[in-house]
């Protein structure tokens, strides 16, 4: 049994991830901390370090957090770009950077990206761009991680549990059950793969 921290555990993807971690000890965290074991803000390195210190020993971190702003490229403001980049990209990279000082030997990080960098749709340029950056980050940083530590990204399409919210803006996309995305997180945590982008699409 591994001890796994799931950041963004209260969200759609966080709940899907937890479905794949049944045999492990799961510690939950989110920005508000509502319904979770801990509060953390991934845009703040001090907050991330405090989470890791409070948990103590852990074998894996799953990041299912990353706020994205949606707007047409022509009207997307600098603030909207910054909010998305600081959360979905820099925030998740911080989860790894700070985590290296705390995670056990042979541990793993799994980050969230999203299918929109492969299958673009209107209004989603910031989500797509940062998802592509996360995929590139895990492929490349995997070569630099010490102590047998692994890293992967899960890149899912929209999940059924979120379809009501996003379905209208995603004509022609087929949602997948959250449980399938849970399997992808399980494969990242429980196999030996590293530097991989695990796509989950219909
Ligand atoms: N939903 C999908 O079908 C889908 C598919 C592919 C990719 N994705 C990607 O997955 C990520 C999460 O999406 P979601 O649908 O699960 O969103 P969600 O339901 O809104 O949940 C977001 C989760 O992340 C936490 N969070 C947000 N900002 C944070 C921060 N700065 N620090 C720590 N925790 C933070 C939230 O905490 P609080 O609730 O406490 O604020 C919540 O637990 C996004 O980047 C999205 O693009 C989603």
Report the separation in Å between the CA atom of 14 and the middle of ligand 1, taken as the mean of its atom positions: 7
Q: How far lies 68's CA from each of 45, 52, 111, 192, in Å?
A: 19, 25, 15, 30
CB count within 10 Å of CB 132 equals 17
- The predicted pLDDT at position 153 comes to 98
Packing angle, helices 12-19 and 178-190, rounded to 10: 60
- The predicted pLDDT at position 62 comes to 98
Could you give the CA distance from residue 180 to residue 63 in angstroms, rounded to a whole number? 17
Q: Are 31 and 44 in contact (CB under 8 A)?
A: no
CATH of domain 3-200: 3.40.50.720
Phi, psi at residue 197, to the nearest 5°?
-105, 115
Helical ranges in 9-124 per DSSP H: 12-19, 45-55, 78-84, 92-99
**Candidate of 6, 13, 33 to mutate for ligand 1, largest count of ligand atoms within 8 Å of Cβ:** 13
- The predicted pLDDT at position 76 comes to 98
- The predicted pLDDT at position 166 comes to 93
Contacts 24+ apart (CB under 8 A), 86-92: 86/43, 87/42, 87/43, 88/127, 88/130, 88/131, 88/134, 89/130, 89/133, 89/134, 89/137, 90/43, 91/42, 91/43, 91/63, 91/65, 91/66, 92/42, 92/63, 92/65, 92/66, 92/134, 92/137
Instruction: pLDDT tens for the chain, 202 residues: list them.
Output: 999 999 999 999 999 999 999 999 999 999 999 999 999 999 999 999 999 999 999 999 999 999 999 999 999 999 999 999 999 999 999 999 999 999 999 999 999 999 999 999 999 999 999 999 999 999 999 999 999 999 999 999 999 999 999 999 999 999 999 999 999 999 999 999 999 999 999 9
Burial of 113 (0-12, 13-18, 19+ CB in 10 A): buried
79: Cβ–Cβ under 8 A, 6 or more apart, which residues? Answer: none
Token duo for residue 107: 């541990």
Nearest CA to ligand 1 atom 43: 8
**Candidate of 5, 12, 44 to mutate for ligand 1, largest count of ligand atoms within 8 Å of Cβ:** 12
Q: Are 9 and 18 in contact (CB under 8 A)?
A: yes
Report the separation in Å between the CA atom of 141 and the middle of ligand 1, taken as the mean of its atom positions: 23
The finding on whether 127 has its CB within 6 A of some atom of ligand 1 is yes
The finding on whether 175 has its CB within 6 A of some atom of ligand 1 is no
Q: Which of 183, 131, 132 is nearest to 159 (CA)?
A: 183
């Amino acid at each position: 049994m591994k001890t796994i921290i799931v950041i963004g555990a209260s969200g759609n993807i966080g709940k899907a991830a937890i479905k794949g971690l049944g045999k492990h000890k799961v510690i939950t965290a989110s920005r508000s901390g509502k319904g979770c074991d801990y509060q953390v803000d991934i845009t703040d390195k001090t907050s991330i370090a405090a989470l890791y210190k409070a948990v103590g020993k852990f074998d894996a971190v799953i990041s299912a957090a990353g706020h994205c702003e949606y707007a047409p490229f022509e009207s997307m403001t600098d603030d909207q770009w910054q909010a998305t980049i600081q959360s979905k990209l820099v925030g998740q990279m911080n989860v790894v950077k700070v985590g290296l000082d705390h995670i056990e030997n042979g541990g793993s990080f799994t980050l969230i990206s999203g299918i929109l960098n492969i299958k673009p749709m209107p209004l989603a340029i910031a989500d797509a761009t940062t998802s592509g950056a996360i995929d590139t980050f895990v492929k490349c940083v995997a070569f630099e991680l010490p102590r047998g530590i692994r890293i992967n990204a899960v890149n899912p399409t929209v999940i059924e549990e979120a379809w009501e919210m996003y379905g209208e803006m995603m004509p022609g996309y087929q949602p997948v059950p959250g449980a399938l995305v849970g399997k992808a997180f399980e494969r990242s945590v429980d196999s030996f793969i590293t530097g991989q982008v695990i796509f989950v699409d219909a």
